[in-house]
Structure 1
Amino acid sequence: MVGRDAVLAAVAGSVGTGALLWRRLYPTLMEDLRTIHTTRKPMAVTARDIASRRLVIDMFEETARQHPERVFVVFEEKNYTYGMMDAMANRVANVVCRWGLKVGDAVAIMTYNSPEFLWTFLGLLKLGLAGTFINYHLQEEPLVHSLTASLSKHLIVGRGAELLDTILSVHDKLPEDFTVYVSGAPTGSLPKQVLSFDLLMAQSLPVPVCKVAREEVTLKTPICYIYTSGTTGLPKPAIINQVKGIGQTHGYKTIDFTHQDVTYVVTPLYHSAATCVGVFNTIGEGATIVLRQKFSASHYWEDVRKYKVTVIQYIGELCRYLLRVPRHPLDGVHCVRAAYGNGLRSDIWNDFQTRFRIPRIYEFFGATEGTAIMLNCCNKVGALGRWSPLIRWMDGGKKGFYIVKYDPITERPIRDKEGKCIPVRPGDSGLLLSVKPPNIDKFYLGTKEINEKKIVKNVLQIGDEFFNFGDLVFLDDDYFVYFRDRIGDTFRWKGENVSTTEVAHVMSQLKFLHDVNVYGVTVSGSDGRAGMAAVQLEDGHTMTSQLLSQLYSHVVKHLPHYARPIFIRIVQEFSTTQTMKHRKLELVKEGFDPDIVKDALFVINHQSKTYDPLTSSNIGIILTSRL
């Protein structure tokens, strides 16, 4: 039987001798061959490292040992070499090893982007521990949940008085045996509830810990927990295990990334986009990463030029912000040869690539807890990747994607008479799934029920299991795949995933609100979806200016900035499904257009600290000035 690689080689050879004929018979063959060739580059290296159990921390230590003077991190105009970062990571490991933790246990990290975040995380990996990455925007119940859901009993807080204040505001809600360590504050100034991590680091030595400390690490041992919003209403710790971490160190092989490259990361390290894409790939090749504490559109290209960045890692919202900065003669003057990221939408793709002279854009699709990644390596505007018959045949259905017909009313895949899912045809939209590999037992650290919600069974054959991304995609006639929408109880805004259940739970604490239904709505010129809440008032209440001010104060106090509803709609009653779930489809379609929605509409106003009436006469001015 002829193998797939042999067939591919034969096809490629045929293309070389009869390109015009092949183009006529299969117009997108070259795009298929380019995709197959490019996406296979990381596979061999990943397979080798998995087979030899070469972990992410091993890759880092190898570079630190062989090239200690090579720059690993550039931060605030200072260079941090692999040797320096390794020494600091050793100090962390020597501190934490006294805490009585075992391989696989987790330690929470809550700090801004900085070398400190990285050496703390690497120090944990030296002991076979996992880092729990805490979103520093969280407050109150979501923060307490994030600190404890991974079973962490220790938290290391980075520099910044506001971070300490945030933790102190919830400290009495944490378990009694939960310990908080703080960096950057004088020991004498710390309240009794917290301990100085700086003091422990000063007393520690930069000597390596013996690898025996992590000899019990397996490929399934967690390397970190990264939180993602979901249908439970609270952040869920997605499991990044060692085998997944290894795979993510070689993603940049698709762009021929080497140790001579310099990548630029400005998104938060508590997200997978920054750590799993930017940092892990840098470690995999022993390259250099330029890190910034917070994204700055006005300084972005200045940094890129100054540090001779060759690869930029983006999210779609970042690109849109960059385009809003006034044009500059040096916009296209830089060393960038590739942009790698996700969420770059079709409406700004050409403008971004042309204005800033980006030679190649590699748009990928994936999820923190996902089991596969789709990559557009063909520079196809707006596409996530390809899903052609040839690519599916080459994959053999072992680890790739599947796009199935989906019913938006039942929020379930449509099945055939045998109970199996039905693949979409070109020109249709469907639900994106990926094969669940045997080395992944669960996606989140949590209950069996939470994990099973992400599984779709009986997709290709009875008994199989696929991971459900919860996203609808469109397949065009040339087999390119495009993102269409998120389904269920999450949407994306300002680069963050927003849980509608969490927002509704917070708003429902207000006594004058009888019921709340939260969803995301499209705003022209913005990526993702803006938060909108349809609310039903308690009997005897009307939405007064006083209640609007109370509503504003409540959401600002209890929700991070990206989760606060932009729009409010007052409804008399809600439409529900047979299972008593709120129907969102009609509300989403109607959006916030005063000419369509007959209910009272309001929009957030941060200057006056309230919600203002939204009407046909002021909607244009408001949308251009507040979003």
Structure 2
Amino acid sequence: MSRTPNDTITWGMMLRKLPAIARAVPRIVKGMKLANVQDLTQPCGLGWCFEQATQRNPQGPALLCGDTVLSYAQVNAQANRIAHYLLAQGIGKGDCVAIFIENRPQLLISVLAMAKVGAVSAMLNTSQTGDALVHSLALVNPVAVVVGDERVAAFNDVRSRTALSSGRTWWVADQDSGDVPSGFVDLMADCADYPGDNPACSQQVFCNDPCFYLYTSGTTGLPKAGVFRHGRWMRTSTSFGLIALDMQPDDVVYCTLPLYHATGLCVCWGAAICGASGFAIRRKFSASQFWSDVRRYRATTLGYVGELCRYLIDQPVAADDRHHSVNKMIGNGLRPGAWSTFKTRFGVDHICELYAASDGNIGFTNILNFDNTVGFSLMGWELVQYDQASGLPLRNLQGRMQKVPRGQPGLLLARIDEKAPLDGYTDPAKTEKTICRDVFVPGDRYFNTGDLLRNIGFGHGQFVDRLGDTYRWKGENVSTTEVENVLLQHPQVAEAVAYGVEINGTNGRAGMAAITPSESLATLDFSELLQFLHCKLPVYAVPLFLRIKVKMDTTGTFKYQKTRLKTEGFDPCGTGDEPVYAWLPGTDTYVRVDRQLATRIQGGQLRY
């Protein structure tokens, strides 16, 4: 992320915000009380919050999708019927149920029902197939699975590799669904005759009970399952819904983000529930239909990632670009270069950029509406020096880490304490690897986020980059190890190193891999290789660029020189006599990159 001259927050800028700060103080105080549930026996969490919202706004729209509009009372009653059915089937508190449905109301209703009985929803990435899907299921050992009709084929491909019984393999019809597939039970039909009143067990869910398992990219190349507890749901929904956005019953959040990720599921939906507001969703993001949907649903609030905003900016300018009711938006990854352009063109007053990770314990929020910042955090955090090659924090001769000067990028560490506990992963060993101990004083503990931020003044952070073995592209985290492992499965690839490279005007980093052919470049079929990668990887993880190396460069300790590869990128002027190939938009093979093509890509003439 490049730094602009106006990024530093000054005393003058803070003074101009005093009226906004004064208005925000009462709801910040109220929000902090609601968010920090101290009583371990106090009912809280998703199910409890939704029931409170239903009491507050029973006939108000809760879920909107296409022509469907469901009120809070309707959604709550449907979730209750499923909850009572689940109890009758022996599903109870602490049981894990995998959810494999694309963005539609039935996904959220199913998740809400699980929360009411105290079951844990494992939010499967709907792009996953094959080995990755099997791994994700095995990580959480679900007692049941709910499969949308649109994902039946993907599930059936791996079904024999799971231990799930057909009696607990529930199916949810889609718009054009036919008969119930063989080996599935129709969830909505079977629960239809169960009562629609709130189950007593929704009052027996407490802050330390897990609500979701959310998957993140693992350094081994396969996903990790992060634990998201009901207490954290309270903190998330209240922090964003009340403190940051001041959501009200007449607000509507429009969210096209995938609901298996925390930004869509917890931040956007949580903010809507906190305000008893409407939540409008779409199966897949559409840049051409985006503003039509916004006007159709009378949305006041947008959920976004930076890539989504770039796609909207790239659309032709229209006379009605500002003809909408949106005055605030919440999300992450909006680059400084696009920030003012988006705000000005579409007339959105408040960009509430945030920083958080589903597997972490810290969140930043841009409550005061400064530009180009993720805002501030009420949790303890520090930015420390790090090794550029490994991405690991550095320690001095005394064994302590060293803070970076203000304004300089540093590795973000989040203090782990009672106010900011670390829920971690389902695998305790993986959780332990993220914890830094004895950082500044003996006995202290910090969560290593693996991200670079800079402090631009008054405790406000600015996101700089991701470190380590993942990069972000198309709003998704990509594991370099997963990409490398898949490439090495191809018989014509002997060695592979995956990494992310920057393309001007895009968010995140595009996938690139340096590969050494098993035989020779002449025998490598690029069309077949691309088809192979598409079968094995989600589309966002397929490398856009390939660099062909006769021999891979390693350090003295036999580690690949990934930092240098990232720096040299895909420009043939930087790669010397090693050819680079690119998968261009709308094509089905890789083509050789020359200087002219590299210039066109960096100049934005090809839309990635």
TM-score past 0.5 threshold:
yes
Please report the TM-score for the alignment, with normalisation by the length of structure 2: 0.90
Any unmatched runs of 5+ in structure 2? 1-8
Tell me the equivalent position of 1:60.
50
2:421 and 2:460 map into 1 onto residues whose CA distance is 28
Structure 2 counterpart of 1:554, which letter? F
1:105 and 1:172 map into 2 onto residues whose CA distance is 21
Tell me the equivalent position of 2:517.
537
2:256 and 2:527 map into 1 onto residues whose CA distance is 34
The structure 1 residue matched to 2:483, chosen from 503, 509, 512, is 503
1:182 pairs with 2:171: yes
The structure 2 residue matched to 1:462, chosen from 433, 442, 455, is 442
Any unmatched runs of 5+ in structure 1? 1-23, 388-394
Structure 2 counterpart of 1:419, which letter? G
The CA deviation string for residues 108-160 of structure 1, in whole angstroms up to 9 with x for no partner, is 11111111111111111111111111111111111111122112131111242
Q: CA deviation at 1:236?
A: 1.2
Tell me the equivalent position of 1:30.
15
Structure 2 counterpart of 1:614, which letter? V
1:309 and 1:215 map into 2 onto residues whose CA distance is 32
Mark the CA change 1:210 to 1:304 in structure 2 (over 3 Å): closer, same or farther: closer
Kept in 2: contact 1:39–1:375 (CA 8 A): no
The structure 1 residue matched to 2:591, chosen from 601, 608, 612, is 612
Kept in 1: contact 2:474–2:540 (CA 8 A): yes
The structure 1 residue matched to 2:82, chosen from 92, 110, 124, is 92
Q: CA deviation at 1:487?
A: 0.7
The structure 2 residue matched to 1:252, chosen from 238, 241, 259, is 241
The CA deviation string for residues 233-291 of structure 1, in whole angstroms up to 9 with x for no partner, is 11111111011011112122222222222111111111111110111121122111112
The structure 2 residue matched to 1:143, chosen from 122, 133, 137, is 133
1:101 and 1:579 map into 2 onto residues whose CA distance is 51
Kept in 2: contact 1:49–1:246 (CA 8 A): no
Tell me the equivalent position of 1:288.
278
Mark the CA change 1:626 to 1:125 in structure 2 (over 3 Å): closer, same or farther: same
Structure 1 counterpart of 2:126, which letter? Y
Structure 2 counterpart of 1:248, which letter? T
Q: Count the aligned residue pairs.
A: 587
Q: How does 1:510-525 map to 2 (within 5 A)?
A: 510-525=490-505
1:171 pairs with 2:159: yes
Tell me the equivalent position of 2:195.
206
Structure 2 counterpart of 1:506, which letter? V
Kept in 1: contact 2:252–2:301 (CA 8 A): yes
The structure 1 residue matched to 2:526, chosen from 548, 552, 559, is 548
The CA deviation string for residues 348-380 of structure 1, in whole angstroms up to 9 with x for no partner, is 111000000111111111111121111223433
The CA deviation string for residues 16-69 of structure 1, in whole angstroms up to 9 with x for no partner, is xxxxxxxx9955653897779586562122136867433321121133245421
1:413 and 1:298 map into 2 onto residues whose CA distance is 44
Structure 2 counterpart of 1:293, which letter? R
Tell me the equivalent position of 2:570.
592
Q: How does 1:411-490 map to 2 (within 5 A)?
A: 411-438=391-418, 440=421, 442-446=423-427, 448-476=428-456, 480-490=460-470
Point out the more displaced range, 213-222 or 286-295.
213-222
1:102 and 1:529 map into 2 onto residues whose CA distance is 42
Mark the CA change 1:171 to 1:371 in structure 2 (over 3 Å): closer, same or farther: same
Structure 2 counterpart of 1:534, which letter? A
Structure 2 counterpart of 1:104, which letter? G
Tell me the equivalent position of 2:4.
none
Mark the CA change 1:607 to 1:122 in structure 2 (over 3 Å): closer, same or farther: closer
2:344 and 2:82 map into 1 onto residues whose CA distance is 45
Mark the CA change 1:176 to 1:125 in structure 2 (over 3 Å): closer, same or farther: closer
1:583 pairs with 2:568: no
Structure 1 counterpart of 2:575, which letter? V
Please report the TM-score for the alignment, with normalisation by the length of structure 1: 0.88
Q: CA deviation at 1:344?
A: 0.7
Q: CA deviation at 1:515?
A: 1.2
1:231 pairs with 2:219: yes
Point out the more displaced range, 26-35 or 276-285.
26-35
Point out the more displaced range, 110-119 or 417-426.
417-426
SS at match of 1:301: helix
Kept in 1: contact 2:48–2:203 (CA 8 A): no
SS at match of 1:368: coil
The CA deviation string for residues 515-549 of structure 1, in whole angstroms up to 9 with x for no partner, is 111000001111000000111122xx112365222
Q: CA deviation at 1:77?
A: 2.5
Structure 2 counterpart of 1:602, which letter? Y
